[in-house]
Amino acid sequence: MKSIEDIMAMAQNVQAELAKAQDGLDQIEVEGASGGGLVKVKASAKGRIIGISIDDSLIVPADKQMLEDLIVAAFNDARAKADTASNTEMSKMTQGLPLPPGFKLPF
């Protein structure tokens, strides 16, 4: 059986690795799209919005409501992809750790 010092050292190592992984999430980029790719939102896996691209064909004053709806849809698509990328990266970090089912890290 491991001593309390060994367990604490392991916990500190896991915490440091998780912090490193969290920092790395901001470097992973995903792109959400709507309207068949006419509106695109680029985001980090941490959810930070990096950029928006709107096809010139959509910039018509009469279609303002549709454009706004497409932007919202693209943001939501980017956010869903960011969550997926984040969960994938974090699961790599926690693989092999003896955690109870459903336990989420970081704390």
Count Cα atoms within 13 angstroms, Cβ side, for 96: 4
Question: pTM for the complete prediction?
Answer: 0.58
Taking alpha carbons only, the member of 4, 41, 43, 17 closest to residue 97 is: 17
pLDDT in tens, 34-54: 999 998 988 888 878 888 888
- Under 8 Å between Cβ of 47 and 79: yes
Domains of the chain, first to last: 4-94 (3.30.1310.10)
Per-residue pLDDT 10s for the chain (107 aa) are: 577 887 788 888 888 877 787 778 888 888 999 999 998 988 888 878 888 888 988 888 888 888 888 888 988 898 888 888 888 887 777 676 666 666 665 54
